[in-house]
Homo-oligomer: A and B are copies of this chain.
Amino acid sequence: MAATFVIAQGGGPTAVINQTMVGAVIEIQKRHPDARILGARHGVRGIRDGDYVELSDVPEEQLRRVGTTPGAALGSTRDKPDAAYCELVFAGLKKVGADAFIYIGGNDTAGTQQILADASGGSIAFVHAPKTIDNDLVENDHTPGFISAGEFVAGAFLSVDLDFRALPGVYVGIVMGRHAGFLTAAAAAWRDDEDSGPHLLYVPERAFSVPRFINDVRATLGRYKRCIVAVSEGVSTADGKSLVESIVPPDRLERDAHGNLKLSGGDLGLAFEHALRDGLPGTRARVDALGYMPRGYIGAINDTDSHEAFNAGAFAVEAAAQGGGSVALQFDGNKTVMKLVPLSAVAGKTRHMPDDFLKPDINELSDKGIAYLNRLVPGKYQVGKPFV
């Protein structure tokens, strides 16, 4: 009997999550010409509701075009199945006779696969293929989606720095990143000398304090006449509370099914505006949230990222043949290699940015942090030095 593969996408879309889906589908079409390939719409929700798109016979050319398109072409979900939901998903997989389920997403998605695998008793191969702009999966050197997002962020801060050389002031750019500061750190990837912005980085791994922030900005203004700041939306105060929690009244906090706080709202930006107005009165200050641009801007899709994402999808098919697990992108000292690791090694765990990626007492990249980011997000533009 021909094999049946179910494939789905979970969590926030990225610039290259479609490459992973397409990489898997093309690999299945090659390895198993008779296989049935079902794309579940909106992640596990599609399996629960029996909402599928037949991918078995979609021509490679059409698939490759979807691969180069950002977003999640199967739709996504933030549903986190509990036991009852899981039973429905499991029943859904049985109903279509699934032999393998490949779920592309971050650590929450790996967690869902872990629960399903535990419940299935081995009758179906559950594979997690990695995806996250946050770069926060353990067992991975980096994750598909991070390089494109990092490149967007590096370019954004390079550009804003040039803007603020012309019209000096303080700029605060808020970058997605709940628990891990990698993407915010990428803001400094293309900083080419002491004078270049971003001058200050604030990441979730280090406690944030408003007075310290104001002092840092004041000192930077004194030195460079402008101050470019990159800050993670997930920065927390010393008591471990996210800054958003200390700003927004509890009854207005919004959470998803995973209990994740909504961080991308305007309250955080306004709080920075007010802190700067009060702490540095009369100083021109602008606060932007980069928002959704880094995770899927069609003009900043990195080739290496696309390639690796595609390969991760293809490798997920091999992982299914081996009984399931989580696909991990590791670095062998020379190049990125795909490894299969147990779901339990990745599920629900968060990889933080190593503390020594930043200098000890300054919110600035260390040599180690620079080396890591330069390897993943190498310089792309030759900038003509301004005359100011």
Residues of A within 8 A of B (CB): 9, 12-13, 18, 39, 41-42, 53, 55, 62-78, 151-152, 155-156, 158-160, 162-163, 165-167, 171, 264-267, 269-270, 273, 286-293, 295-300, 381-388
Contacts and interface: CB of A to CB of B under 8 A. Distances in A.
11 contacts: A9-B166, A69-B383, A70-B162, A74-B386, A156-B293, A159-B298, A160-B296, A264-B286, A265-B270, A266-B269, A267-B270
Say how many copies of this protein the assembly contains.
2
A74 to B, nearest CB: 6
Given A162-B71, A384-B67, A388-B75, A287 B299 contact: no
A160 B294 CA distance: 10
A67 B290 CA distance: 26
Contact of A69 (B42, B266, B296, B384): B384
B162 A385 contact: no
B388 A297 contact: no
B297 A286 contact: no
Nearest to A289: B288
A68 B113 CA distance: 48
Nearest to A78: B167
Contacts of A18: 384
A299 B155 contact: yes
A295 B289 CA distance: 15
A293 B175 CA distance: 13
Contact of A73 (B63, B156, B386): B386
A298 B298 CA distance: 14
A273 B269 CA distance: 13
